[in-house]
Structure 1
Amino acid sequence: MYHSVGDCSDDPYRITVTPGRLDAQLGWLRRRGLRGVSLGELLAARARGEGRDLVGLTFDDGYADFVEHALPVLRRRGCGATLFVLPGRLGGVNAWDPLGPRKPLLTADGIRRAAAEGVEIGSHGLTHVDLTRADDATLRAEVARSRALLTELTGTPVAGFCYPYGTVDRRAADAVRDAGYTYGCAIDPGPLTGPYALPRVHVGQRDTAVRLLLKTRLHRLRRRAAEGI
């Protein structure tokens, strides 16, 4: 689970990695015989009983620096990824982060460019709200409306959803399923773990080879495996 790729000198939430660090992390995967791919590709491979050499790479929030900094690294390393974006904030900023800094988000053209490069586009909701606290109307808009807007924008049905803040409950997971998505990403969904609440592990600037190795091992111990995946 990645977020922003760029300057991390002012990064209170530790959501940013530099392009050099991302390149080193993807290189670490490659040296271990692994390849980063989109969640859609990973899940399709697992459904065929394959894909043990694949790792799903996700980038949350749809920062504009994805196109400038992440895409070249992904291309160089022969990796794919899923980019979760906010169609209600196209060309805006990460206003949900009270401490800042303010980072620009992708425009519609930026999302289309990423999609044209083979990046899977998924929804992160309309505006980045905690769905476990949303009323029914807001939940429908954040989940179903965002999918409709992104399908129109990219010309491709949107398969994946990512819960803002990683928070999910049964009501939110059911809304994602009912809206037509085929999977949903969380962080540590516990007993909800499954196709609509996939666990992920955060990767940041401080994650060197040793830390990545520890995280892969701790992930298996701390988080339930999604059945059939």
Structure 2
Amino acid sequence: MGEGMGNEAQIMPYISSANISCGFHAGNLDTLKKTIELALEHNVAVGAHPGYPDRENFGRVSQMLSLLEMAELIAEQIYVFEKVAIPLGAKMHHVKLHGALYNDCAKDAALSKIFIQTIQAIDYDIIIYGLSGSKTIQEAKKLGQPFANEVFADRTYQLDGHLTPRYLEHAMIHEVEDACKQVLEIVQKHQVNTIQGNPIEIEADTICIHGDGINAVEFAKAIYSSLKNNQIEITQA
């Protein structure tokens, strides 16, 4: 959220936590401030959403950075987030990396380790949102940092548990009914069907809906209702 889509007010009533751009891959200080204020109004937990500084590609193209450069990049964005959040009385609840940075860490233990150590240098209580079962989650466990296994309502999965790359066909889920079906399958059965046609086991602590998706508002409303109708409690991970 806070990425310039302008749909935050419509989505906020249906979510329990928000990943808010720090202004590097999208957005700016004004959108960051307004989104945090909106989240506070709705009692939604706020988290920093650092990404590669690549507005042209919305932070969805990998960059070659050293471990030190990556640590500095993440720390700088956390600083920006807190500089805006603290005067508003908002506490950073979690950190979720954005786009290519998220996926790069999900597959790389060394990147995940430096990411988590960077967060630990700031606050040992901040929750790490990472791709369910990924290197990010594994490293958080090893380092003793709180974490939440994240699953996706609007993305498809590969057999190895990673998301289908966006450049491939069927990477995105576009229909509301399909998104709700996937979420319920994950939450109730702890499994998800892959694009290869085989189910895999998966754990869910938090569910992601991309705010820049064309159906983001409809997805948020429908998934919220679907979970409620199935007596599934929605809380902050």
TM-score bin, normalised by smaller chain = 0.5 to 0.7
1:187 is aligned with what amino acid?
V
Counterpart Cα distance in 2 of 1:202 and 1:194: 16
- The structure 1 residue matched to 2:129, chosen from 129, 145, 162, is 162
- The structure 2 residue matched to 1:110, chosen from 58, 80, 87, is 80
Match of 1:193 in 2: 203
Match of 1:24 in 2: 10
SS at match of 1:199: strand
1:206-225 Cα distance to aligned partner (Å, 9 max, x none): 44765532232456799x98
Match of 1:50 in 2: none
Q: Normalization by structure 2: what TM-score?
A: 0.51
Deviation at 1:83, TM superposition (A): 1.7
What count of residue pairs does the alignment treat as equivalent?
166
Match of 1:43 in 2: none
- The structure 2 residue matched to 1:93, chosen from 54, 59, 66, is 54
SS at match of 2:11: helix
Q: Percent of pairs identical after alignment?
A: 4
Q: 1:98 to 1:146 in 2, by over 3 A?
A: closer
Conservation of the 8 A alpha-carbon contact between 2:3 and 2:31: yes
1:4-23 Cα distance to aligned partner (Å, 9 max, x none): 521xxxxxxxxxx22xx212
- The structure 2 residue matched to 1:71, chosen from 28, 33, 40, is 33
Deviation at 1:69, TM superposition (A): 0.7
- The structure 2 residue matched to 1:130, chosen from 104, 118, 121, is 104
2:23 is aligned with what amino acid?
Y
Deviation at 1:74, TM superposition (A): 3.4
* Equivalence map 1:38-49=2 (5 Å): none
Match of 1:149 in 2: 118
Q: Normalization by structure 1: what TM-score?
A: 0.52
Residue ranges of structure 2 left out of the alignment (5+ in a row):
63-72, 153-185, 192-200
RMSD: 4.2
Q: 1:162 to 1:142 in 2, by over 3 A?
A: farther
1:69 is aligned with what amino acid?
T
Counterpart Cα distance in 2 of 1:186 and 1:114: 26
